[in-house]
Amino acid sequence: MSVQEDGGHRGTEIAARTERRWATISVIIIVAMALLAAFAGIHRATMPQPRVETTDPSRLHLSGEFAESNLGSVLEANGAVTVRAIGQQYSFTPACIVVPAETPITLRATSADVVHGILVQGTNINTMLVPGYISEQLMRFEKTGDYLMPCQEFCSFGHEGMWGKVRVIDQAKFAELAKSGGRLSCVGQ
Protein backbone atom coordinates (compact mmCIF):
# COMPACT_ATOMS: atom_id res chain seq x y z
CA MET A 1 0.00 0.00 0.00
CA SER A 2 1.02 3.55 -0.55
CA VAL A 3 2.16 5.51 2.42
CA GLN A 4 3.44 8.57 0.65
CA GLU A 5 1.42 11.65 1.19
CA ASP A 6 1.87 12.59 -2.42
CA GLY A 7 0.70 9.20 -3.60
CA GLY A 8 -2.04 11.26 -5.13
CA HIS A 9 -4.97 9.95 -7.00
CA ARG A 10 -3.63 6.46 -7.61
CA GLY A 11 -2.93 5.96 -3.89
CA THR A 12 -6.44 6.95 -2.99
CA GLU A 13 -7.82 4.53 -5.49
CA ILE A 14 -5.73 1.63 -4.25
CA ALA A 15 -6.72 2.41 -0.67
CA ALA A 16 -10.37 2.59 -1.61
CA ARG A 17 -10.21 -0.68 -3.51
CA THR A 18 -8.54 -2.51 -0.62
CA GLU A 19 -11.19 -1.16 1.70
CA ARG A 20 -14.00 -2.24 -0.55
CA ARG A 21 -12.59 -5.74 -0.69
CA TRP A 22 -12.38 -5.92 3.06
CA ALA A 23 -15.89 -4.53 3.42
CA THR A 24 -17.15 -7.24 1.06
CA ILE A 25 -15.41 -9.94 3.08
CA SER A 26 -16.92 -8.51 6.28
CA VAL A 27 -20.40 -8.56 4.81
CA ILE A 28 -19.94 -12.15 3.65
CA ILE A 29 -18.81 -13.17 7.14
CA ILE A 30 -21.85 -11.54 8.67
CA VAL A 31 -24.36 -13.00 6.24
CA ALA A 32 -22.82 -16.44 6.70
CA MET A 33 -23.18 -16.12 10.46
CA ALA A 34 -26.80 -15.08 10.25
CA LEU A 35 -27.60 -17.99 7.94
CA LEU A 36 -25.77 -20.38 10.21
CA ALA A 37 -27.83 -19.18 13.16
CA ALA A 38 -31.09 -19.68 11.29
CA PHE A 39 -30.05 -23.10 9.98
CA ALA A 40 -28.89 -24.34 13.36
CA GLY A 41 -32.07 -23.09 14.95
CA ILE A 42 -34.24 -25.21 12.74
CA HIS A 43 -32.14 -28.32 12.64
CA ARG A 44 -31.33 -28.43 16.32
CA ALA A 45 -34.81 -27.36 17.31
CA THR A 46 -33.53 -24.56 19.44
CA MET A 47 -35.85 -21.81 18.37
CA PRO A 48 -37.38 -19.28 20.68
CA GLN A 49 -40.88 -20.07 21.81
CA PRO A 50 -43.36 -19.58 18.97
CA ARG A 51 -46.13 -17.79 20.89
CA VAL A 52 -46.61 -15.15 23.51
CA GLU A 53 -49.09 -16.31 26.16
CA THR A 54 -50.25 -14.36 29.16
CA THR A 55 -51.45 -15.29 32.64
CA ASP A 56 -52.16 -13.64 35.98
CA PRO A 57 -49.31 -14.42 38.39
CA SER A 58 -51.13 -13.74 41.64
CA ARG A 59 -53.98 -16.14 40.75
CA LEU A 60 -51.94 -19.05 39.39
CA HIS A 61 -52.74 -21.25 42.37
CA LEU A 62 -56.49 -20.84 42.08
CA SER A 63 -57.19 -22.80 38.92
CA GLY A 64 -55.96 -23.78 35.51
CA GLU A 65 -52.66 -24.82 34.12
CA PHE A 66 -50.41 -23.73 36.97
CA ALA A 67 -52.58 -24.79 39.91
CA GLU A 68 -50.64 -26.87 42.38
CA SER A 69 -52.29 -30.13 41.39
CA ASN A 70 -51.24 -29.64 37.78
CA LEU A 71 -47.55 -28.89 38.39
CA GLY A 72 -45.07 -31.59 37.50
CA SER A 73 -44.47 -33.96 34.60
CA VAL A 74 -47.14 -35.74 32.63
CA LEU A 75 -46.82 -38.35 29.92
CA GLU A 76 -48.98 -37.32 26.97
CA ALA A 77 -50.86 -39.73 24.75
CA ASN A 78 -48.34 -39.27 21.92
CA GLY A 79 -45.44 -40.35 24.11
CA ALA A 80 -44.10 -36.87 24.64
CA VAL A 81 -43.82 -35.33 28.08
CA THR A 82 -45.08 -31.98 29.31
CA VAL A 83 -43.56 -30.41 32.39
CA ARG A 84 -45.33 -27.56 34.14
CA ALA A 85 -43.49 -25.58 36.75
CA ILE A 86 -43.51 -22.21 38.43
CA GLY A 87 -40.79 -20.05 39.91
CA GLN A 88 -41.46 -17.98 43.00
CA GLN A 89 -39.39 -16.31 45.69
CA TYR A 90 -37.29 -18.49 46.31
CA SER A 91 -38.01 -21.90 44.93
CA PHE A 92 -39.28 -23.76 41.94
CA THR A 93 -42.37 -25.92 42.21
CA PRO A 94 -41.81 -28.77 41.73
CA ALA A 95 -38.42 -28.28 43.34
CA CYS A 96 -37.26 -31.48 41.68
CA ILE A 97 -38.48 -32.14 38.15
CA VAL A 98 -38.46 -35.72 36.94
CA VAL A 99 -38.33 -36.50 33.20
CA PRO A 100 -37.48 -39.50 31.03
CA ALA A 101 -34.35 -39.66 28.89
CA GLU A 102 -34.49 -39.65 25.08
CA THR A 103 -37.98 -38.18 24.99
CA PRO A 104 -39.21 -34.91 23.55
CA ILE A 105 -40.25 -32.72 26.47
CA THR A 106 -42.10 -29.42 26.54
CA LEU A 107 -41.41 -27.26 29.53
CA ARG A 108 -44.13 -24.75 30.34
CA ALA A 109 -43.35 -22.43 33.20
CA THR A 110 -44.15 -19.04 34.63
CA SER A 111 -43.41 -16.87 37.62
CA ALA A 112 -45.73 -16.21 40.53
CA ASP A 113 -44.10 -12.95 41.60
CA VAL A 114 -40.93 -11.38 40.17
CA VAL A 115 -38.62 -12.15 37.25
CA HIS A 116 -36.84 -15.47 37.63
CA GLY A 117 -34.98 -17.69 35.22
CA ILE A 118 -34.66 -21.42 34.69
CA LEU A 119 -31.28 -22.74 33.69
CA VAL A 120 -30.44 -26.43 33.57
CA GLN A 121 -26.70 -26.83 33.96
CA GLY A 122 -24.87 -28.81 31.32
CA THR A 123 -27.65 -28.28 28.76
CA ASN A 124 -28.89 -25.38 26.67
CA ILE A 125 -32.18 -25.28 28.50
CA ASN A 126 -32.45 -21.70 29.59
CA THR A 127 -35.45 -19.44 29.79
CA MET A 128 -36.66 -16.40 31.65
CA LEU A 129 -39.74 -16.54 33.82
CA VAL A 130 -41.47 -13.19 33.57
CA PRO A 131 -44.59 -12.74 35.71
CA GLY A 132 -47.63 -12.32 33.51
CA TYR A 133 -46.26 -14.43 30.66
CA ILE A 134 -45.82 -18.14 30.06
CA SER A 135 -42.45 -19.49 28.98
CA GLU A 136 -42.28 -22.55 26.82
CA GLN A 137 -39.22 -24.50 25.86
CA LEU A 138 -38.56 -27.76 24.09
CA MET A 139 -36.00 -30.01 25.67
CA ARG A 140 -34.58 -33.47 25.38
CA PHE A 141 -32.12 -35.26 27.62
CA GLU A 142 -29.89 -37.99 26.30
CA LYS A 143 -28.24 -39.01 29.57
CA THR A 144 -29.88 -39.99 32.83
CA GLY A 145 -28.75 -38.37 36.04
CA ASP A 146 -29.25 -35.32 38.21
CA TYR A 147 -28.93 -31.82 36.78
CA LEU A 148 -28.83 -28.60 38.78
CA MET A 149 -31.44 -26.02 37.93
CA PRO A 150 -30.54 -22.63 39.46
CA CYS A 151 -32.56 -19.46 39.06
CA GLN A 152 -30.43 -17.29 36.78
CA GLU A 153 -31.94 -13.86 37.35
CA PHE A 154 -31.76 -11.73 40.48
CA CYS A 155 -35.10 -12.17 42.26
CA SER A 156 -34.35 -10.30 45.52
CA PHE A 157 -32.35 -11.21 48.59
CA GLY A 158 -32.87 -14.95 48.62
CA HIS A 159 -31.78 -15.42 45.01
CA GLU A 160 -28.59 -17.24 46.05
CA GLY A 161 -30.71 -19.98 47.62
CA MET A 162 -32.94 -20.66 44.65
CA TRP A 163 -31.65 -23.92 43.21
CA GLY A 164 -33.88 -26.63 41.87
CA LYS A 165 -33.08 -29.97 40.35
CA VAL A 166 -33.91 -32.01 37.27
CA ARG A 167 -33.73 -35.78 37.53
CA VAL A 168 -33.55 -37.64 34.24
CA ILE A 169 -34.57 -41.26 34.58
CA ASP A 170 -34.85 -44.20 32.28
CA GLN A 171 -37.75 -44.08 29.80
CA ALA A 172 -39.26 -47.36 30.98
CA LYS A 173 -39.01 -46.34 34.60
CA PHE A 174 -40.79 -43.10 33.86
CA ALA A 175 -43.55 -44.90 31.96
CA GLU A 176 -44.00 -47.17 34.99
CA LEU A 177 -44.35 -44.19 37.31
CA ALA A 178 -46.72 -42.48 34.91
CA LYS A 179 -49.14 -45.42 34.97
CA SER A 180 -50.55 -44.34 38.29
CA GLY A 181 -51.59 -41.05 36.67
CA GLY A 182 -51.29 -37.60 38.16
CA ARG A 183 -48.36 -35.29 37.92
CA LEU A 184 -44.91 -36.63 38.58
CA SER A 185 -42.04 -35.01 40.39
CA CYS A 186 -39.07 -36.16 42.41
CA VAL A 187 -39.57 -33.96 45.45
CA GLY A 188 -38.75 -35.57 48.74
CA GLN A 189 -36.82 -38.42 47.14
Residues 92-121 contacting other proteins, CB under 8 A: 92-95, 110, 112-115, 117, 119-121
The verdict on 28 binding other proteins (CB under 8 A) reads: no
Tell me: does residue 145 bind other proteins (CB under 8 A): no
The CA angle 124-93-127, to the nearest 5 degrees, is: 25
Q: How big is the site for other proteins, counted in residues (CB under 8 A)?
A: 108
Is residue 186 a contact point for other proteins (CB under 8 A)?
no
Q: What is the dihedral of CA 171, 176, 177, 178, to 10 degrees?
A: 80
| The binder of other proteins chosen from 86, 97, 107, 168 (CB under 8 A) | 86
Q: How many residues does the chain have?
A: 189
What is the rounded distance in angstroms from the CA atom of residue 183 to the CA atom of residue 161? 25
How near is the Cβ of 80 to other proteins at its closest, in Å? 10
Among 10, 78, 142, 157, binds other proteins (CB under 8 A): 157
Q: Which of 76, 79, 102, 124 binds other proteins (CB under 8 A)?
A: 124
Q: Which amino acid is at 102?
A: E
Q: How far is residue 107's CA from residue 64's CA, in Å, rounded to a whole number?
A: 16
Q: Which of 99, 155, 169, 178 binds other proteins (CB under 8 A)?
A: 155
Within positions 43 to 62, which residues make up the interface with other proteins, using CB under 8 A?
A: 44-62
Q: Phi/psi zone of residue 102: left (φ > 0), alpha (ψ -120 to 50 degrees), beta?
A: left
Closer residue to other proteins in complex, CB, 50/172:
50
Q: CA-CA distances (angstroms) from residue 31 to 23, 24, 25, 36?
A: 12, 11, 10, 9
